[in-house]
Amino acid sequence: MKKVLIAGATGYLGTYLVQEAKQRGYWVRALVRTSSRFDDIKDSVDDLFVAEATRPETLQGVCDGIEVIVSALGVAGPRPGDTTPVADVDYGGNHNILGEALKASVKKFIYVAFINFPAFQHLDITHIKEKFISELQGSGLEYCVMRPTAYFSDMGNFIEMAKKGTAYLIGHGRYRVNPIHGADLAKVCIDMIDSDEQEVLVGGPREYTYEEAARLAFSVVGKDPKIKKIPAWPFALALKVLRPFISKRKFTLVQFMLAAFQNDAVTPKYGSHTLEDYFKELSEQ
């Protein structure tokens, strides 16, 4: 039975990765940080390794006996009180884990990155993730780079806005995306443990324009759609002007969000979970 380390195990995707790896019969170690909320996973893992991925000295031994690493470690959105620059986590954290992997007998590193379409090449977050990917590709380890489009977790904002009565869209709302549920993505990630594929573009079973996703949210909460479209240029201008005054982390995340709403992010389709069912679950919470 292969021993698998899951990094970012307490996140939206990480929690599903732990469950899927256990269901497949792997021995699972979860890397969590002291401040992580790991109650949801602690009973479904074989070992819990508490350390700060951004501090290499705390990671010694994290890869002992491990054959495969699956990393969903990264900053996916604003976290109250967490000002750590995205580069320190997405590059620094994964770089530190790779360092431990090379000291141990790890054979394979599966890294969850992001789609790298031309429209996203100029983004800070792309440079940060691609820097780690180049390092991984040159490490000598077997590897697979997952390139998912948006997660259902990121579409959840539409339900919050629909409940409040008005959904705000940046831009004209006609760009397309096929978001994916964490459980479906986790299945594809764990499939890669025994696959030779080195890069996988992955998204959910159905495409939506951002406006269609907003309208779906209104229909789920049983309200007439009220959608306000805000031009993107004021945000882009504000971001440029405010750059010297806002944190690197905030700049990277807002720059990414603006690009996401203004470009198609459609990939090959996987999975069976529907956005409608996810919205229904959220609307009942």
Ligand X SMILES: NC(=O)c1ccc[n+]([C@@H]2O[C@H](COP(=O)([O-])OP(=O)(O)OC[C@H]3O[C@@H](n4cnc5c(N)ncnc54)[C@H](OP(=O)(O)O)[C@@H]3O)[C@@H](O)[C@H]2O)c1
Alpha-carbon gap, residue 22 to 28, rounded angstroms: 7
Q: At closest approach, how far in Å is the CB of 237 from ligand X?
A: 25
Q: Which of residues 77-106 bind ligand X (CB under 6 A)?
A: 84, 89-90, 93
In whole angstroms, how large is the CA radius of gyration of the chain? 19
Q: Which of residues 109-168 bind ligand X (CB under 6 A)?
A: 112, 114, 148, 150-151, 153-154
Tell me if 170 sits within 8 A of 261, measured CB to CB: yes
Q: Does residue 74 interact with ligand X by CB under 6 A?
A: yes
Alpha-carbon gap, residue 282 to 172, rounded angstroms: 25
Q: Does residue 252 interact with ligand X by CB under 6 A?
A: no
* Residue among 27, 44, 54, 225 that touches ligand X (CB under 6 A): 54
DSSP secondary-structure letter at 141? Answer: S
- Decide whether 74 or 173 has the Cβ nearer to ligand X: 74
Alpha-carbon gap, residue 176 to 206, rounded angstroms: 10
Q: Does residue 264 interact with ligand X by CB under 6 A?
A: no
* Residue among 8, 85, 171, 204 that touches ligand X (CB under 6 A): 8
- Decide whether 8 or 271 has the Cβ nearer to ligand X: 8
- Decide whether 130 or 154 has the Cβ nearer to ligand X: 154
Q: Does residue 35 interact with ligand X by CB under 6 A?
A: yes
* Residue among 10, 96, 178, 267 that touches ligand X (CB under 6 A): 10
- Decide whether 18 or 68 has the Cβ nearer to ligand X: 18
Residues in the interface with ligand X (CB under 6 A) total 29
H runs (alpha helix) in 119-232:
124-137, 152-155, 157-164, 182-191, 210-221
Which residues are CB-contacts of 216 (< 8 A; sequence separation ≥ 6)? 158, 208, 275, 276, 279
- Decide whether 212 or 225 has the Cβ nearer to ligand X: 212
Q: At closest approach, how far in Å is the CB of 13 from ligand X?
A: 4
Site track 170-199 with ligand X (rule: CB under 6 A), x = hit:
------------------------------
Q: At closest approach, how far in Å is the CB of 245 from ligand X?
A: 23
Q: Edge-to-edge strand order for the sheet containing 27-32?
A: 47-50, 27-32, 3-7, 68-71, 108-112, 142-148, 199-202
> If we measure between CA atoms, which residue out of 54, 67, 65, 239 comes closest to residue 142?
67
**Strand pairing report for 176-177 and 208-209:** antiparallel
- Residues at the contact surface with ligand X, assessed by CB under 6 A: 8-14, 33, 35-36, 52-54, 72-76, 84, 89-90, 93, 112, 114, 148, 150-151, 153-154
